[in-house]
A and B are shown apart, each in its own frame.
Chain A
Amino acid sequence: GAVVSQHPSWVICKSGTSVKIECRSLDFQATTMFWYRQFPKQSLMLMATSNEGSKATYEQGVEKDKFLINHASLTLSTLTVTSAHPEDSSFYICSARAPGLAGQNEQFFGPGTRLTVL
């Protein structure tokens, strides 16, 4: 149980184009999903927290107009990188909070999406 999928697993795009990444919770309903960015040999950096049916909360320094997040259902959140540039090349990982005991907050991670912007 608690499986999270991402699509695509990797994508290459040209500078200036937009790319959409999907994150799905396959066997549970996720009221909250998170989007992280990870550079090589570094830790995970939280970009935004996405709650179903409401606007995402972005971390300081993350441009909300560049990284559009939509959480339209309890099993799907999308991250769109708009007008991508080479510096946006990174490993993007989503996670979903699994329902559990009150006050608990297990997060289960997707397999990640490797974005390369040429």
Chain B
Amino acid sequence: GENVEQHPSTLSVQEGDSAVIKCTYSDSASNYFPWYKQELGKGPQLIIDIRSNVGEKKDQRIAVTLNKTAKHFSLHITETQPEDSAVYFCAASRGGLSTLTFGKGTMLLVSP
């Protein structure tokens, strides 16, 4: 089955800096890669996703890149703000009716 590794487990940045979280996956058939933000005591929220026919996708301060050959994808957050502090999870799926496999999560702390 699919295995998703996520790094780092904790990331501390100063407000205004950029943050990068990286994930690798094992199943070459995976083609859907969402990122979720989870605040304390709440459910995960989809913040951005990318499919295997695209190498990069941006949404304001958030971007995701995908390298299918190397089987890794990354989340980039620019101009970080304290409200970006949360746990971020990457996931991978074969798409269609397949389930998601999650990484272990990254706790992002943005200091003012």
Residue ranges of A at the interface with B (Cβ–Cβ < 8 Å): 4, 6, 32, 34, 42-44, 46, 49, 93, 95, 103-112, 114
The answer to whether the Cβ of B112 comes within 8 Å of any Cβ in the partner chain is: no
Closest 9 CB pairs of A and B: A109-B43, A112-B43, A111-B43, A109-B44, A43-B102, A43-B104, A93-B43, A103-B96, A110-B43
Whether A44 pairs with B46 at a CB distance below 8 angstroms is no
28 A-B pairs within 8 Å (CB atoms) are namely A4-B43, A34-B99, A42-B104, A43-B89, A43-B102, A43-B103, A43-B105, A44-B44, A44-B89, A46-B99, A46-B100, A95-B43, A103-B96, A105-B32, A105-B96, A105-B98, A106-B34, A106-B46, A106-B49, A107-B100, A108-B46, A109-B43, A109-B46, A110-B43, A111-B42, A111-B43, A112-B42, A112-B43
* Complex Cα–Cα for A104 and B93 (A): 10
Interface string of B71-112 (1 = CB under 8 A from A): 000000000000000000100010111111011110000000
Main SS of the interface on chain B? Answer: loop
The contact size tier of chain B is 20 to 34
Residues of B contacting A111 with CB < 8 Å? 42-43
CB distance from A9 to the nearest CB of B (A): 9
Residues on B with C-beta less than 8 A from A44 are 44, 89, 102
What is the interface of chain A mostly: helix, strand, loop, or mixed? strand
B49: chain A residues at CB < 8 Å are 106
In the assembled complex, B36 has its CB within 8 A of some CB on chain A: yes
Knowing that A49-B99, A93-B43, A106-B34 touch, tell me 16 more A-B residue pairs with CB under 8 angstroms. A4-B43, A43-B104, A43-B105, A44-B89, A44-B102, A46-B99, A46-B100, A95-B43, A104-B51, A104-B95, A105-B96, A109-B44, A109-B45, A111-B42, A112-B41, A112-B42
Q: Is the CB of A105 within 8 A of B46?
A: no
Q: How far is the CA of A43 from the CA of B103 in the complex (A)?
A: 7
Closest to A114 in B: B41
Q: Which residues of A contact B32 (CB under 8 A)?
A: 104-105
